[in-house]
Amino acid sequence: SPGTEWVSAAERPGGSLLTRQLQELWRRSRGSLVPQRLLFEVTSASVVSERSSKYVLYTIYLIRSGQFDKAPATIARRYSDFEQLNRRLRSRFSCDMASVAFPRKRLRRNFTAETIAKRSRAFEQFLSHLHSIDEIRRSPEFLEFFFLPDLQAAQRLTCTGMYREALATWANAYRLQDRLGVCSSGRFLLTLAGLAVCHQELDQLSEAHGCCEQALQLLEAQGSHPLLGPFLQAHIHLAWKVGKDKRRSEARLQDLREAGLPLQQQPSLKECLIKEPLE
């Protein structure tokens, strides 16, 4: 990104810009940076019959323009899910939504190949249009449409000890948040906690350690965060197990102790994960 180039220029001897001016320039420009283009592609649609209802489930890939993703970020949603998103966004962003088209509800012929194909394209265009509008793209209503169901499912699976299934679901939630550019939010930290816990339960200790490292980098600037103590304790334990350096985390934990945080009563990462309300 341009920011890293500027910072390295400032750190070189004789760099043309002073660091403070540089930071100000970077801060001002961030608002004008064009977000990475995201493509929404319906890759399959299947008719699901339940006891008293029948509906079409659309599987959608989130694809970064011009990049090949080894593991895709996917969601599966039905018409009523899109309808709810459309309703919520129209009630909050009525002006922005005035130009956004949404496929009408049909009373019959909902399950013909022609209707399903038309709706698939309409949903792709609907999501692309929403993503192109700044206010909507950053709104919790839009973002949580993608990853909240996965977080809720992953939490349930983790609580019931189904760690392999939970891990796959946390991993998809991670990829969704990554594609949507929200890798510094509280939900993302919770996702890293879920990945760390499941990796540890499945004895994949170096992967669990890596998740803790990533979380602690995100928490670098935070003096107090409910997950900081639990992540530090997990990181120290895992670093000891996999033979990695744990001194930095021990020092940070010591700072928390000296600041008066009662670490004996601190919940574990797993307890934080189970107790977190995900509405």
Is the domain of 161 the same as that of 260? Answer: yes
Residues 77 and 183: their CA atoms lie apart, in Å, by: 23
Q: How far is CA 34 from CA 26, 29, 152, 227, 243, in A?
A: 14, 10, 31, 32, 42
Torsions phi, psi for 40 (to 5 deg): -115, 120
Give the pLDDT confidence score for residue 3 in this predicted structure. 36
pTM reported for the whole predicted model: 0.83
- Determine the structural domain holding residue 269 and report its residue range: 144-278
Give the pLDDT confidence score for residue 108 in this predicted structure. 82
Residues 42 and 61: their CA atoms lie apart, in Å, by: 6
Give the pLDDT confidence score for residue 100 in this predicted structure. 96
Give the pLDDT confidence score for residue 10 in this predicted structure. 36
Q: Domain boundary at 85, 119, 138, which?
A: 138
Which are the contacts of 20, defined by CB distance < 8 A and separation ≥ 6? none
Interhelix angle 228-242/205-218, nearest 10 degrees: 140
Give the pLDDT confidence score for residue 262 in this predicted structure. 78
Residues 57 and 74: their CA atoms lie apart, in Å, by: 13
Is the domain of 66 the same as that of 179? Answer: no
Q: What is the number of alpha carbons within 13 Å of residue 96 lying toward its C-beta? A: 18
Give the pLDDT confidence score for residue 24 in this predicted structure. 53
Give the pLDDT confidence score for residue 12 in this predicted structure. 36
Q: b/e map of 180-203 (b: 16 or more CB within 10 Å)?
A: bebbebebbbbbbbbbbbbbbbee
Is the domain of 122 the same as that of 236? Answer: no
Contact 265, 257 (CB under 8 A): no
Q: Domain boundary at 138, 168, 201, which?
A: 138
- Note whether residue 12 is domain-resident: no
Which are the contacts of 131, defined by CB distance < 8 A and separation ≥ 6? 38, 40, 137, 142
Contact 62, 72 (CB under 8 A): yes
Give the pLDDT confidence score for residue 13 in this predicted structure. 38
Beta strands in 105-232 (DSSP E): none
Give the pLDDT confidence score for residue 18 in this predicted structure. 46
Please count the other Cβ atoms lying within 10 Å of the Cβ belonging to residue 23: 15
- pLDDT < 70 stretches in the chain: 1-36, 223
**Domains in the chain: how many in total?**
2
263: domain CATH number is: 1.25.40.10
Residue 194 CA, distance from chain mean position:
12
Q: Domain boundary at 138, 155, 190, which?
A: 138
Give the pLDDT confidence score for residue 20 in this predicted structure. 52
Helix, strand, or coil (residue 4): helix
Residues 211 and 22: their CA atoms lie apart, in Å, by: 31
pLDDT tens, position by position, 175-216:
999 999 998 778 999 999 999 999 999 999 999 999 999 999
Give the pLDDT confidence score for residue 36 in this predicted structure. 61
Kind plus residue range of the DSSP H or E element containing 54: strand 54-64
- Note whether residue 176 is domain-resident: yes
Give the pLDDT confidence score for residue 165 in this predicted structure. 98
Cα dihedral: 85, 147, 58, 94 (round 10): 20
Residue 84 CA, distance from chain mean position:
21
Which are the contacts of 265, defined by CB distance < 8 A and separation ≥ 6? none
